[in-house]
């Protein structure tokens, strides 16, 4: 369970100049999974740390049964409004991504998107997150993680930790995301733009595939 201190930090970061105002455009890798040459068949999707709902709304528009979760109440409120305006109805919940079972999130999710959630969790919550996400993933599910390798406050996420923690998953790809691409997904202060342009945050994108349906191990 996320502590009150962690919740406070998340809410402060949400309102800080280092948190970009989200665009409505999906990440390129999400678009590839939905509309690319080897696109997935629409099924059940989970959007962890859904923010303003750009991925939840995009997936719902493309025939997916989507649940989006975010810890920040204001973010979920904005996501619900945007979904109504877009004419789609994903399930958008305020909640803790380390408590998926307690929230009643069903198993069998074919696509799980985490665009900026996992990289902010402390180690003790990562220990919970991994088995929870693994439990609700369908056989052959895809898990897309977009995270920063460096951050002045957050712990960050690097490939060696992804491989170590996500047992039962295969890393299909690990790609560095250029600053100019990151800036397409949101707008922020000149300081934030400079930070991305200079590579201070070092954003990466990891695509994993569920390959082991045996009893889950802890991450």
Per-residue pLDDT at 212: 73
Rg of the Cα atoms in the chain: 16
- Count of residues in the chain: 219
Strands of the chain, DSSP E: 21-22, 44-48, 65-70, 91-94, 109-115, 137-148, 169-176, 186-187, 203-210
Residue found under tokens 């201070």: 200
- CA atoms of 22 and 25, how far apart (whole Å): 8
Report the percentage of the chain scoring pLDDT > 70: 75
Per-residue pLDDT at 179: 64
pLDDT in tens, 182-211: 666 666 556 666 666 666 678 899 999 999
How high does pLDDT run on average in the chain?
85
Task: Please check the confidence at residue 17 and state whether its pLDDT lies above 80.
Answer: no
Per-residue pLDDT at 218: 41
Check residues 190 and 173 and name the one with the higher pLDDT: 173
* Mean per-residue pLDDT, 48-70: 97
Q: Which residues pair with 145 in a beta bridge?
A: 114, 206
Residue 153: pLDDT band with limits 50, 70, 90: low
Residue 54: pLDDT band with limits 50, 70, 90: very high
- CA atoms of 73 and 138, how far apart (whole Å): 28
Superfamily name with CATH number, domain 4-15+25-87+101-210: Vaccinia Virus protein VP39 (3.40.50.150)
Residue 216: pLDDT band with limits 50, 70, 90: very low
């Amino acid at each position: 369970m996320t502590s009150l201190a962690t919740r406070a930090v998340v809410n402060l970061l949400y309102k800080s100049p280092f948190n970009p105002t989200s665009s409505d455009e999906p990440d390129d890798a999400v678009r590839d999974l939905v509309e690319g040459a080897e696109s997935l068949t629409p099924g059940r999707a989970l959007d962890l740390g859904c923010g303003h709902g750009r991925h939840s709304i995009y997936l719902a528009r493309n025939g997916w049964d989507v649940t989006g979760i975010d810890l920040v109440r204001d973010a979920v409120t904005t996501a619900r409004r945007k979904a109504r305006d877009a004419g789609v109805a994903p399930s958008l919940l305020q909640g803790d991504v380390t408590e998926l079972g307690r929230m009643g999130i069903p198993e069998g999710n074919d696509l799980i998107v985490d665009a900026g959630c996992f990289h902010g969790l402390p180690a003790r919550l990562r220990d919970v997150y991994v088995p929870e996400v693994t439990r609700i993933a369908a056989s052959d599910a895809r898990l897309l993680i977009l995270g920063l390798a460096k951050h002045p406050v957050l712990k960050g996420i690097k490939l060696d930790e992804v491989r170590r923690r996500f047992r039962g998953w295969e890393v299909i790809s690990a790609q560095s995301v250029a600053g100019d691409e990151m800036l397409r997904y949101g707008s922020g202060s000149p300081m934030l733009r400079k930070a991305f342009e200079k590579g201070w945050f070092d954003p990466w994108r990891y695509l994993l595939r569920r390959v082991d349906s045996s009893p889950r191990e802890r991450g």
